[in-house]
Chain A
Amino acid sequence: MSDTRQQVNTVLGIGRQTYERSVWGLVVIGCLGLLAGILLREQLIGTATYLVTVWAAMIVAVAVPYVSDTKLVDERDERLHNRASGLLIGIAFMVGLGIVPALYVLNAGNYITISPTVWGGIYLFSAFGLLYGVCYTIVSRRS
């Protein structure tokens, strides 16, 4: 065990539970800060709190597994993440492909009028699908 790792573990006492609680705790604090900022009309402070804590959470989430001797993330976590992501993509595509083209055609035929908000959702969905395609291509070429 390297001295640095020993030191980090000793100082922070990093365990899986501590790691997860730290990450999610920071995210919750950030969200509460943002909400408080909105309610108290202190949007700038709320946004700053949110950005600082959420970025801190992301840094902790990514960096700590590298410096901790305790295994914090392993193959099962990765598989669970992949399954959850796959499920999300599957649902999104089924719903999107089942609805969006129909809406588009009905709008073009003047049967319905798609509101700007729905158009925003359609563009977001399209961008999401495109991004997924790019990510899939990158991952498949690297494996």
Chain B
Amino acid sequence: MENHLTERREEAGLSQGDLAEAVDVTRQTINAIERERYDPSLELAFKLAAFFECHIEELFEPNIDLDLVSNSDLKTE
């Protein structure tokens, strides 16, 4: 999953270790997320968003076509 974690972290002047400690994971996990080799759990994604005081969508960009999972068809029925 594409994300803007590196930019956010560097803007905040934090190391990967600092961020890892703040959200209670290992530095390796932050590194893996930044390199887009690991998709965080929903809980961790929320923690990261809360830490940077933004919405999850501002931090993570899912590689899926959201139109395909839209419920607009259901709404019109």
Residues of A within 8 A of B (CB): 16, 71-77, 79
* B32 adjacent to A76 (CB under 8 Å): yes
List 11 contacting pairs A-B, 8 Å CB cutoff, sorted by A. A16-B28, A71-B25, A71-B26, A74-B24, A74-B26, A74-B29, A75-B29, A75-B43, A76-B29, A76-B32, A79-B38
Is B56 interfacial (CB-CB < 8 Å)? Answer: no
Of all chain B residues, the one with the shortest Cβ separation from A79 is B38
* A75 adjacent to B44 (CB under 8 Å): yes
- The one of A71, A73, A75 in contact with B40, judged by C-beta atoms closer than 8 angstroms, is A75
Given contacts A71-B21, A79-B38, 20 further A-B contacts (CB under 8 A): A16-B26, A16-B28, A71-B20, A71-B24, A71-B25, A71-B26, A72-B26, A73-B26, A74-B25, A74-B26, A74-B29, A75-B29, A75-B40, A75-B41, A75-B43, A75-B44, A76-B25, A76-B28, A76-B32, A77-B26
Within 8 A of A (CB), among B40-67: 40-41, 43-44
Q: Interface of chain B, helix or strand or loop or mixed?
A: helix
- State the Cβ distance, A124 to closest chain B Cβ, in Å: 34
B43 contacts across to A, CB distance below 8 A: 75
Alpha-carbon gap, A72 to B26, bound state (A)? 7
Alpha-carbon gap, A132 to B69, bound state (A)? 35
